[in-house]
Amino acid sequence: MTAPPLDAVVVEITNANNYSQLSHSLRTFAPNDVRDTILAGPLANGHDPLTVLDIAQHTVGILYILSARFRTKNNLPALAYLESFCQHFDVPQAIAASEHVVYLARNLQDIAESTDSPKQPLLCLLYLVSRFPPSPSHLTPIHPIFIAGCVATGHFSVAFSILQAPITEIDNSLSDLHYQDNLVYHYAGGIALAALKKWEEAEEFFEICVSSPAQVPAAIQLEAYKKLTLVQLISRGTTTAVPKYTNNSLVRLLKTSPYGSFAKAYPQQIATLKKISESDAGLFGSDGNTGLINQALERAPRRLIQKLTSTYLTLSLTEIGKNVRISDLGEVRALVLKMIEQDEICATISADDTVTFSDPPVQFSKIEIDQVLADAQDQAALFFALNREVGKSKEFLSKATKNKDEWGGPPEEEIYAGGNVGAWMEEA
């Protein structure tokens, strides 16, 4: 007697030793709709094939079964099973069916955003994004899915362990990576880092998104530029120019928007800042930037006081109040004391309400010094490895050979517009 279709498929899965061939067979043994119906069904004896297959040994087959179940909405797996799968799947097999790993990640994101308890689906995604890439420095399509899921559900701290690893590797043979994946990862990562008040890291992520080369900038890049502007105002008190390879249309759009007006008035024109925040409250709210606007506004008086410390040795609280547009002397005193407590300024307040500014003492602990040295060594090793890889690339060698008589290094625009990033643009 001929075995029922799914029983025969399970036999093939358990006997396979060539994962690429198995993936091809599972993809082509029947038309799409028929194939999904078969894979999503039970065995002839009524048992669930997932109870027969071993996660580590039969990863490819299980991925195809999971995808079929998600597409047909039939026999959807329990979250406990998905968590176990994400913890124990075999990585080489997963790479042979990488599109199904990404499809699983997308469905986990949907589950996380639609449930009242998103933590378990996010934990599954964390296992996926930690185990699937060859190293934490490899960008995959799972990265933006995971980080966007953390942002959508407000689990910013869950994303931080992944965001700490700098992305230096792109491998399209590992998975089907697109230009948009890079933008979404760094945009969502910037949001998560800003929510955690890690301003310097957030600024870096938003800047990568904004300055990623494109003939026509994506809408997400303008949104990242808006957030980058506000994050810089909060962390620095001023904005800095984006890299010169950034698309000029983004710079023009930002400059002529309320964000450009807000940045131009910051921090000196407090009345103007308040007026902009009120008149364009709807825009800031729809952009999801009300919180950043409010934080920038709250910090504006502090920035003005910090500027005073570079000009004056002493000032009365009344004079400080005039400079920061605060008439309540008690409010000015509370603000100055808070800035002193938070090490934003080094100053003392005398009995006659005179504030004396001084330079902050330079103090470093042995632990801090050791950490700086360790970080410098890690960065030096990373730079050395990257420099070797660039030196071996065909693009680098051809340019070096072509311009060997006058070459002094490729211009910055070519560095950031070439290589794998250019390939992303062609794919997009």
Give residue 96's identity as a one-letter amino acid code.
Answer: A
Buried b (16+ CB within 10 A) or exposed e, 98-109: bebbbbbbebbb
Give residue 78's identity as a one-letter amino acid code.
Answer: A
Residues 229, 235, 241, 246, CA torsion sign: negative
Q: Which helix (H) or strand (E) holds 169?
A: strand 169-170
The token pair that represents 200 in the structure block: 């310097």
How many Å apart are CA 337 and CA 327, to the nearest integer?
Answer: 16
Q: Strand pairing partners for 315? A: 355
Alpha-carbon distances of 173 from 67, 102, 391, rounded to whole Å: 21, 14, 21
How many Å apart are CA 53 and CA 146, to the nearest integer?
Answer: 27
Chain centre distance of CA 428: 19
pLDDT of residue 428: 39
pLDDT of residue 396: 64
Complete edge-to-edge strand list for the sheet that includes strand 354-357: 314-316, 354-357, 347-349
Q: Which helix (H) or strand (E) holds 347?
A: strand 347-349
- HSE, CB side, 13 Å, CA atoms: give it for residue 427: 13
Q: Strand pairing partners for 316? A: 354
The token pair that represents 353 in the structure block: 């309400």
- HSE, CB side, 13 Å, CA atoms: give it for residue 268: 5
Residue stretches of the chain with pLDDT short of 70: 1-4, 362-363, 396-397, 399-428
Which residues make Cβ contacts (< 8 Å) with residue 124, sequence separation at least 6?
79, 82, 83, 86, 108
How many Å apart are CA 325 and CA 251, to the nearest integer?
Answer: 31
Alpha-carbon distances of 240 from 190, 229, 298, 302, rounded to whole Å: 17, 8, 20, 19
Q: Are 203 and 240 in contact (CB under 8 A)?
A: no
Give residue 94's identity as a one-letter amino acid code.
Answer: A
pLDDT of residue 414: 40
How many Å apart are CA 388 and CA 399, to the nearest integer?
Answer: 16
Helix, strand, coil percentages (3-state) for the chain, rounded to 5, are 65, 5, 30
How many Å apart are CA 114 and CA 21, to the nearest integer?
Answer: 36
Q: Which helix (H) or strand (E) holds 349?
A: strand 347-349
Residue for token digits 């639609």? 114
Residues 166, 126, 226, 306, CA torsion sign: negative
Domains of the chain: 178-310 (no CATH), 312-357 (1.10.10.10), 371-427 (no CATH)
How many Å apart are CA 393 and CA 397, to the nearest integer?
Answer: 6
pLDDT of residue 426: 40
Q: Please give the model's pTM, rounded to 2 decimal places.
A: 0.79
pLDDT of residue 401: 67
Please choose, from the candidates 204, 255, 264, 254, the residue with its C-alpha nearest in 3D space to the C-alpha of residue 233.
264
